């Protein structure tokens, strides 16, 4: 969570506007990272953070799969939003 806290303090002004700005900030930061950089961040997380991260990833991927299959009427509109993965 420390990484998220650091990102928030650095980009607070950009993140306050809307979700698209947050997505843009995250994607720009990830663009500059290597796989090893990302793995280092994950190794620094506690177990709960890793489980939460994987859980969010799985939910988003399932939403995308449901949207692709055309059976996503019960999911919220975020499935048509930007792709994070």
Identify whether residues 23 and 58 lie together within a single domain: no
Identify whether residues 2 and 35 lie together within a single domain: yes
Domain count for the chain, please give it. Answer: 2
Identify whether residues 66 and 85 lie together within a single domain: yes
Nearest residue to 38 (alpha-carbon basis) of 48, 24, 26, 25: 26
Could you report the per-residue pLDDT of 2-11, keeping only the tens digit for each?
A: 888 888 898 8
Collapsed DSSP state (helix, strand, coil) of residue 34: coil
DSSP state of 13: H
- C-alpha 75/C-alpha 6 separation (Å) is 32
- C-alpha 64/C-alpha 66 separation (Å) is 5
Identify whether residues 79 and 56 lie together within a single domain: yes
User: What does pTM read for this prediction?
Assistant: 0.66
Domain range for 53 is: 47-85
Could you report the per-residue pLDDT of 10-49, keeping only the tens digit for each?
A: 888 878 778 888 889 899 999 999 999 999 999 999 999 9
* Contact between residue 63 and residue 44 where contact means Cβ atoms under 8 Å apart: no
Identify whether residues 32 and 52 lie together within a single domain: no
Identify whether residues 61 and 83 lie together within a single domain: yes
Identify whether residues 37 and 54 lie together within a single domain: no
**With 70 as the cut, is the pLDDT of residue 79 above it?**
no
Nearest residue to 60 (alpha-carbon basis) of 45, 75, 73, 74: 75
């Amino acid at each position: 969570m420390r990484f998220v806290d650091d990102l928030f303090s650095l980009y607070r002004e950009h993140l306050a506007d809307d979700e698209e700005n947050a997505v843009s900030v995250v994607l720009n930061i990830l663009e500059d990272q290597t796989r090893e950089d990302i793995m280092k961040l994950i190794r620094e997380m506690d177990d709960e953070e890793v489980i939460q991260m994987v859980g969010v990833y799985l939910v988003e991927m399932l939403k995308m799969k449901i949207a692709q299959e055309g059976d996503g009427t019960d999911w919220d509109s975020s499935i048509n939003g930007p792709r994070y993965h």
